[in-house]
Amino acid sequence: ALAGLGFLGGWSRKRKTATIAACVTATWKWSVVAAASLLLAGHICCASCSQSLAKESNNCTMASQEWNYLELGNIRSTLIRQEDTILFQLIERAQFKRNFAIYQDDAEFLKGTGISGSYVRNLLQETEVIHSKARRYTSPDEKPFTSRSQLPDPVLPPLVVPEEMKYLKSIDVNLNNKIYDLYTSTILPWITKEGDDGQYGSSSVCDIQALQALSKRIHYGTFVAESKFRSQPEEYTRLIKAGDRQGIMDLLTNKEVEEKVVKRVQNKATAYGQEITDETSSVHGPAIPEDKLKLFKVNPETMGKIYREIIIPLTKEVEVDYLLQRA
């Protein structure tokens, strides 16, 4: 309505002002009506939902009828989304230097604080204590870095696990100690600059978020393993009964798919990790020249390397461990 006032060139200033005021008032009134309608709709919806939920038990169902957690297409979609999370977390961590002191047991800056062990480990445990109360570690793909005996019980009611997911719930495969060691000894040197910038708090928070994202992605291998087992039960059962670890590894490995994952991760890292300027971006194309890498927050090839040499092998290790226990 206000845009249309450009046609009122012949009107008096007083008349224009009155017209603008009327338009604003009308717009405000309709905004109030629209907002009230939305609130009413929300109230009706909430009331309806409350009545529906009141008929259910206090327990929560883990899987809905609309989502099949064991369908390979759904698993693939989940893993692709997790790539984004991992890349963004590693990009965040890469802005700080290595800050080796936060991984040292009883580091100098911890004296007088009452904290024993490393700063990152302590902060990670405190974080997992809170998340445990929120039922995080009752999900099959969520594994704590802290011993479960040191974590409190959930405050929320337990999840109701569907029958088809009972193995995922009962079999506990946890590679977090190995993930932590590889993160601090290999991934950090690949993505951060050597040195100490004093950003201990920020670096530690980024570490925790990255570690949790990596752990979730790697332990989602249990879902992959269960799905693959259901697609070839006879072959997997024979290998499991024989204790043929290498045979299971060979059966579940698909090199072509793995290379596609690595390539996709590199392309995403190229898009997400570059410093945006007014020049053309380098989302796709040949290898990035050395002189152009300075425009990137992380090296895209390094992100692909993390997947090829760490994430994918650990995921397959989770799959094999899971299947051997499934027998």
Closest CA to 250 of 181, 327, 319: 319
297 within 8 A of 149, measured Cβ to Cβ:
no
Task: Name 61's bridge partners.
Answer: 160
* Given 258, 301, 309, 317, the catalytic residue: 258
Active-site entry in 228, 268, 270, 316: 228
Neighbours of 59 (CB within 10 A): 12
CB neighbour list of residue 96: distance below 8 Å, 6 or more residues apart: 192, 197, 199, 202, 203, 206
Query: Is residue 160 helix, strand or coil?
Result: strand
Angle at 219 between CA 160 and CA 153, to 5 degrees: 45
Any bridge partners for residue 160, and if so which?
61
Let me know if 74 is a catalytic residue.
no
Catalytic hit among 127, 146, 299, 315:
315
Give the C-alpha distances (Å, rounded to integers) separating 36 from 53, 228, 249: 25, 51, 59
Give whole-number Cα distances, 179 to 123, 259, 314, in Å.
17, 22, 8
Q: Report which residue type is found at 78.
A: T
Look up 148 and say whether it is catalytic: no
Would residue 253 show up in a list of annotated catalytic residues for this protein?
Answer: no
81 is catalytic: no
Indicate if 76 belongs to the active site: yes
Catalytic member of 17, 230, 254, 263: 254
Please check whether residue 167 is in contact with residue 140, taking contact to mean a CB–CB distance below 8 angstroms.
no
Question: Strands (DSSP E) along the chain, which ranges?
Answer: 60-61, 159-160
Dist. CA 258–CA 264, nearest whole Å: 10
Query: Given the DSSP bridges, would you call strands 159-160 and 60-61 parallel, antiparallel or unpaired?
Result: parallel
Q: Which of 98, 121, 217, 268 is catalytic?
A: 217
8-state DSSP, 150: G
**Which residue out of 76, 81, 166, 260 is catalytically annotated?**
76
Catalytic residue ranges: 76, 217, 228, 254, 258, 315, 319
